[in-house]
Structure 1
Amino acid sequence: MNSTGIVSILENDIQADIIERKELLLQTKTFHLRYSLNANDQQYFLNYSFPIIYSVWEGFIQTTFQTYVREINRLNLRMEEYCDSLKIYNLELRVKQLKKYPSELSKKVAMISKLQQLINSESFQISPIVDTKSNVGFDVLNNILASFNLKPIPDYLRPRYSIAIELDKFLLKIRNDIAHGNNAIIVTTDDVSRAIEVVEILMDEVYERLKNGFIHDFSFKA
């Protein structure tokens, strides 16, 4: 499979998105330095930096995997040309009854009809929907990667630096607490920098896996 041209498009699109998102994260990190805010306003902004940072992260996952799927679909592959995990991922997204088997005969017939249509199609188009399970935590991220037959991200990319803790127990926990109205949280500038760091690390890691996935045809049947 000659996918060199598609890899270049994929690289350019994802890299451009990462640059834009890192610029937004930098603006978020330095906002309080560029504007004169009183103590209350500064604290308010620091607290609500966490929902902003998380939205940058989840938006990246949505956009990046949609880009990956778009380029996969341009290859117009048949179902048997995909790896099993991606077949399952796509079928479960397109045929909802596979996760909740219907009891009514008419719905069973509709499910079988949809399955036959997908299986026999000349081009097995992957759904652009990215199921983030409401929060893109460490396990959710690796499950998405696994669905595309891509290498998981290890918890410890660096010594004594846990991605799972930084993402799940720090960024997501504080973001969710703030989103649910916990006004007792006091976010510091160091906290903002820490949250941004894990997002930037993960964006680069996801990019490398998607790029290598296309180069080595990981999402396709060997």
Structure 2
Amino acid sequence: MAAIRTIDHLESSLTEDLKWRTHEMQLWEQVAASCRTHEVAGILRGGLALVYAHWEGYAKEGARAYLEYISRKGLKVGELRSEIAAVSLRSKLGQGEASKHSASHTEIVDLLRGADSLPADLPYTSATIRTRSNLKFDVFADIMHSIGCDASRHEIYQSTIDKRLLKYRNDIAHGREEYVKLADWIDIRDRVLLILKDVRNQISNAAANEEYRRR
């Protein structure tokens, strides 16, 4: 995977990653539409797992790519907006929370008091973005918040994500006999794609407008 150092690199990463995912889901629709009647149910069961994989995969990879882009700018914690500064300090804050020793808590206070001048050590591995392997809408909203973006415009689709996509996906993953019609699958897929396209646009615009900076 190429390093993401410039806006062009970020744009290319966001666009190409969404492009292949979209293409794969479109191909799945074509397969389902052309197969025999008795084959449709099985195809769409697999198709629901595929849509979920791309829902989680793109939300995770888009946020990760954005953090890498910011990380490579060599900024200090004090130059970052609060949400992204929190990502930079997350590991230290977690250590303090986990410790039962007051000395560790004191170290965290001292760290926070002088944090503005520290280099922004932003992690950007795949483990940084916590989808909890079950990307409900509130978890997605939390990821968007952590990178300074907004999920509230998609709250209208929360039931699609939680009560349709995740329910079907979890039932299928646990071996339950769950079936969906092609029209329903297409509706879920299209709504997911609509959200993911906006994720791409929000991250792209945030990078171009330097919204990662403290105002």
**2: CA distance between counterparts of 1:155 and 1:32?**
28
Q: How many residues align?
A: 207
Runs (5+) with no aligned partner, structure 1: 157-161
**1: CA distance between counterparts of 2:6 and 2:142?**
24
**1: CA distance between counterparts of 2:107 and 2:50?**
40
Q: Deviations over 1:89-145 (max 9, x none)?
A: 3322455324x3311578x389759x58x9487631211110113322222222212
Q: Which residue, out of 158, 164, 174, partners 1:170? A: 164
**Equivalent AA in structure 1 for residue 165 of structure 2:** L
Q: 1:29 to 1:93 in 2, by over 3 A?
A: farther
**Equivalent AA in structure 1 for residue 210 of structure 2:** D
**2: CA distance between counterparts of 1:110 and 1:44?**
57
Name the residue aligned to 2:61.
Answer: 63
**Equivalent AA in structure 2 for residue 74 of structure 1:** R
Q: Deviations over 1:145-172 (max 9, x none)?
A: 212222334136xxxxx31111111111
Identity of aligned residues (%): 21
Name the residue aligned to 1:159.
Answer: none
**2: CA distance between counterparts of 1:45 and 1:110?**
57
Runs (5+) with no aligned partner, structure 2: none
**Equivalent AA in structure 2 for residue 165 of structure 1:** S
**Equivalent AA in structure 1 for residue 45 of structure 2:** N
**1: CA distance between counterparts of 2:105 and 2:26?**
53
**2: CA distance between counterparts of 1:150 and 1:180?**
33
Name the residue aligned to 1:89.
Answer: 87
Q: Conserved in 1, the CA contact under 8 Å of 2:51 and 2:189?
A: yes
Runs of 4+ in 1 over 4 A off after TM superposition: 109-113
- TM-score under structure 2 normalisation? 0.83
**Equivalent AA in structure 1 for residue 80 of structure 2:** Y
Q: Does 1:179 align with 2:173?
A: yes
CA RMSD of aligned residues (A): 2.8
Cα drift, residue 49 of structure 1 = 1.4
SS of corresponding position for 1:43: helix
Q: Does 1:12 align with 2:12?
A: yes
**2: CA distance between counterparts of 1:64 and 1:136?**
14
Once the two structures are superposed, the pairs formed by residues 70-149 of structure 1 within 5 Å of their partners are 70-93=68-91, 95-98=93-96, 100-104=97-101, 108=104, 112=108, 119=115, 123-128=119-124, 129-149=128-148
**2: CA distance between counterparts of 1:124 and 1:132?**
23
